[in-house]
Chain A
Amino acid sequence: MTVPMIRLENVEKVYRTDRIETVALSGVNLDIEEGEFVSIMGPSGCGKSTLLHLMGLLDAPSKGTISLNGAAVTDASDASLARLRNQQIGFVFQSFHLIPDLSVLDNVEIPLLYRKVGATERRRAAEGALERVGLSARMHHFPSQLSGGQQQRVAIARAIVGRPRVLLADEPTGNLDSQMGDDILSILQDLNSKERTTLVMVTHDPRQAEKTARTIRMFDGRRVN
């Protein structure tokens, strides 16, 4: 029996303020196998992004267990979680989240700064990742000098530079026109098919969801399929 790459068991996420409690996720059980390309769909506010953030160890569940490659990570320390995010997970965000003060190349190098990797090797890996997304010619530009599609490709290069086993994409084409969106999706498909990177993508676009192997549907913080 193979161990799932990501497993969520009875996961619940509640946001509390002084006055109100908002249940963002409730009783979510989910397995994602190694090498799968999964999309998550649902209406706005249904908990898609929260689910992705929990899978990416960016946030902690209020209840339940999350396991990565068979190991429970729910109670791991800040340093251990940082190490896991650094070595196993890559993120692509809807609004790119590139650092405006850094060049494209420096942005892509970020994950490797938190590993014991020398400057030359870091540079070589970042150049390779940029080549992979077709942006070699733009590596010394700053994010503000690029189009939205190019910025998202930089974000993908940054996500894959450390060769993570899991890539989590939160509406990666949400801010792009359909042509650019298709380009980005084909890069993600390519990563999944050629490198067996496990891919989880939140999307509103059924056309894109159809291109993934499996779609998880969410409604009101619950999984509905």
Chain B
Amino acid sequence: MLKNYLKLSLKILGRRKFFTFVSLFGIGFTLLVLTLSAAVLDHIFSPYPPETRGNRTLVIDAVRMQGKDSMSTGPAGYALYDRYMRDIPQVERLAIISSPEMVISYWKGARLQSMLRRTDADYFRILDFEFIEGGPFGDVDVSEGRLVAVINESTKRKFFGDSHAVGQSMEADGQTFKVVGVVPDVPIFRLMATGDLYVPITTAKSDYYKTRLRGGFMALFLLKDEDAAPGVQQEFKARLKKVELPPGFDKILGKPQTFFASFAQAFIGDFEGEDAGDRLFAILITAATLFMILPAVNLVNLNLSRALERASEIGVRRAFGASARDLLLQFLFENVVISVVGGVLAFAGTALVLGALNQSDLIPYAHFALNWRIATWGFAFALAFGVISGVWPAWILSRLTPIQALAGGVK
């Protein structure tokens, strides 16, 4: 039966070209926007290198300090992690990294701008950078404050062209660093991993950062296993209570979370809720559904008006043995087929738009690509759109009595 429904759907699509064009345009455009959004979100949150250990990595990029009359929200200070959060049971490694900072270099007569990150050696043990040249700096480089740098591929090209970078020196923010490693560019969305230059934290121009509880630093926790997250979060919370806060503040909030939940917390701005990731996911799904509803209503209208043309077919099918349920399934199936065709077109359109985005350099270091996760989301959107826009017309049509349908009576 499904084979027949499919055959009929394709025949109808082929023979009613104008309707097919109008429907596919609406469906394709809606699904293009959704699939594109899914591709961008996938690019931001999925486990691409160097964030390949996402299942046992927790991150924290912001905390909130509260007092009776004051509140301060933003990245924590180095002191919070260094003094209070070391040696949490079930944490294999802790890396502390500065927030991105734009620095200027004067190089061969040119003024170059780069994003500088100051960090420690464990950073390169938690994130899985694939070194193109050389390797990371180590614990000794950090403890002795050596002026060494790991740079990304684009920075290497800007400073050294096609020649080897490792062993060469470069100037940034008034300091001269010796390049020890080159890593691939990391998209700017990946807040923990993106950067042009990564240098030891101890090369900071003053030690003031070591005393601050708020400002300028993020942290990554590599867990011993992925089930350890709740325990680590609990311990983090308990340790926050022991933090000696500056005058005017009596509470500090924040917790290490997955990459997605951490983004969600910043997006939603709720530091006390337990499930920012789930809430953001629900918001995104609701937004996608709402976005589908308007074009779905249009398609419902189009389907219902077109049903007048097909009233005789409905009557004939009813007369020769189709039950209301058979017709409901047939019309729903037809709508899902056209939506899936629209989904395939949207997927191809997404590939073109993503290619153009990659080429345009609009988003630094973005290398958007399609994969099975995006295909699955695209298919799910097409299916949902097909069902949302198909159920109502299918229901109306299937409720017609054979006589109403044969008389062309679709009201």
Taking Cβ atoms with an 8 Å cutoff, the residues of A that contact B are 53, 56, 58-59, 78-79, 82-83, 85-87, 90-91, 93, 97-99, 101-102, 110-111, 113-115, 119, 158, 162
Q: Nearest Cβ in chain B — how far from A113, in angstroms?
A: 6
- Contacting residues, chain B, for A93 (C-beta < 8 A): 406
Q: Nearest Cβ in chain A — how far from B47, in angstroms?
A: 46
| In the complex, residue of chain B having the shortest beta-carbon distance to the beta carbon of A109 | B4
Q: Per a CB cutoff under 8 Å, which of A86, A99, A115 touches B313?
A: A99
Taking Cβ atoms with an 8 Å cutoff, the residues of B that contact A are 1, 3-4, 8, 11-12, 15-16, 312-313, 315-326, 401-403, 406
| In the complex, residue of chain A having the shortest beta-carbon distance to the beta carbon of B324 | A78
6 closest residue pairs by CB, A with B:
A86-B321, A114-B321, A82-B323, A111-B320, A58-B402, A59-B403
Given A58-B406, A113-B4, also A101-B15 (CB < 8 A): yes
Query: Can you give 29 A-B contacts (C-beta < 8 A)?
Result: A53-B402, A53-B403, A56-B319, A58-B406, A79-B323, A82-B318, A82-B322, A82-B323, A83-B323, A85-B319, A85-B321, A85-B402, A86-B320, A97-B312, A97-B315, A97-B316, A99-B312, A99-B313, A99-B316, A101-B12, A101-B313, A102-B8, A111-B321, A113-B1, A114-B320, A114-B323, A115-B321, A158-B320, A162-B320
| In the complex, residue of chain B having the shortest beta-carbon distance to the beta carbon of A164 | B320
- Contacting residues, chain A, for B323 (C-beta < 8 A): 78-79, 82-83, 114
Task: Indicate if the CB atoms of A114 and B322 lie closer than 8 Å.
Answer: yes
- Contacting residues, chain A, for B16 (C-beta < 8 A): 101
Task: Indicate if the CB atoms of A59 and B12 lie closer than 8 Å.
Answer: no
Q: Nearest Cβ in chain A — how far from B327, in angstroms?
A: 10
- Contacting residues, chain B, for A58 (C-beta < 8 A): 318-319, 401-403, 406
A39–B318 CA distance with the chains assembled, in angstroms: 24
Q: Nearest Cβ in chain B — how far from A86, in angstroms?
A: 2
- Contacting residues, chain B, for A53 (C-beta < 8 A): 402-403
Task: Indicate if the CB atoms of B312 and A101 lie closer than 8 Å.
Answer: no
* Extra pairs beyond A82-B323, A113-B322, A114-B326 (16, CB < 8 Å): A53-B403, A56-B319, A59-B402, A78-B324, A82-B322, A85-B402, A87-B321, A91-B319, A91-B320, A110-B317, A110-B320, A114-B320, A114-B321, A115-B321, A119-B3, A162-B321
- Contacting residues, chain A, for B403 (C-beta < 8 A): 53, 58-59
Q: Nearest Cβ in chain A — how far from B144, in angstroms?
A: 79
Task: Indicate if the CB atoms of B401 and A59 lie closer than 8 Å.
Answer: yes
Q: Nearest Cβ in chain A — how far from B197, in angstroms?
A: 65
Q: Which of B318, B323, B326 has the most CB of A within 10 A?
A: B323
| In the complex, residue of chain B having the shortest beta-carbon distance to the beta carbon of A115 | B321
Task: Indicate if the CB atoms of B326 and A110 lie closer than 8 Å.
Answer: no
| In the complex, residue of chain B having the shortest beta-carbon distance to the beta carbon of A99 | B313
A93–B4 CA distance with the chains assembled, in angstroms: 24
| In the complex, residue of chain B having the shortest beta-carbon distance to the beta carbon of A81 | B323
Q: Nearest Cβ in chain B — how far from A13, in angstroms?
A: 11
- Contacting residues, chain B, for A85 (C-beta < 8 A): 318-321, 402
| In the complex, residue of chain B having the shortest beta-carbon distance to the beta carbon of A155 | B316
Q: Nearest Cβ in chain B — how far from A126, in angstroms?
A: 13
A113–B318 CA distance with the chains assembled, in angstroms: 12
A91–B349 CA distance with the chains assembled, in angstroms: 48
- Contacting residues, chain A, for B315 (C-beta < 8 A): 97
A101–B3 CA distance with the chains assembled, in angstroms: 16
Q: Nearest Cβ in chain B — how far from A87, in angstroms?
A: 7
A158–B3 CA distance with the chains assembled, in angstroms: 20
Q: Nearest Cβ in chain A — how far from B11, in angstroms?
A: 5
- Contacting residues, chain B, for A98 (C-beta < 8 A): 316
| In the complex, residue of chain A having the shortest beta-carbon distance to the beta carbon of B320 | A111
| In the complex, residue of chain A having the shortest beta-carbon distance to the beta carbon of B321 | A86
Q: Nearest Cβ in chain A — how far from B364, in angstroms?
A: 52
- Contacting residues, chain B, for A162 (C-beta < 8 A): 320-321
- Contacting residues, chain B, for A79 (C-beta < 8 A): 323, 325
- Contacting residues, chain A, for B317 (C-beta < 8 A): 110
A222–B344 CA distance with the chains assembled, in angstroms: 59
Given A58-B406, A101-B11, A101-B12, also A83-B321 (CB < 8 A): yes
Q: Nearest Cβ in chain A — how far from B227, in angstroms?
A: 51
Q: Nearest Cβ in chain A — how far from B257, in angstroms?
A: 53
A119–B15 CA distance with the chains assembled, in angstroms: 23
A56–B12 CA distance with the chains assembled, in angstroms: 29
A45–B16 CA distance with the chains assembled, in angstroms: 36
A79–B321 CA distance with the chains assembled, in angstroms: 9
- Contacting residues, chain B, for A97 (C-beta < 8 A): 312, 315-316, 406
- Contacting residues, chain A, for B3 (C-beta < 8 A): 119
A99–B4 CA distance with the chains assembled, in angstroms: 14
Q: Per a CB cutoff under 8 Å, which of B11, B319, B324 touches A102?
A: B11
A111–B322 CA distance with the chains assembled, in angstroms: 8
A80–B83 CA distance with the chains assembled, in angstroms: 77
A91–B405 CA distance with the chains assembled, in angstroms: 15
A58–B321 CA distance with the chains assembled, in angstroms: 10
- Contacting residues, chain B, for A114 (C-beta < 8 A): 320-323, 326
A93–B402 CA distance with the chains assembled, in angstroms: 13
Q: Nearest Cβ in chain A — how far from B394, in angstroms?
A: 15
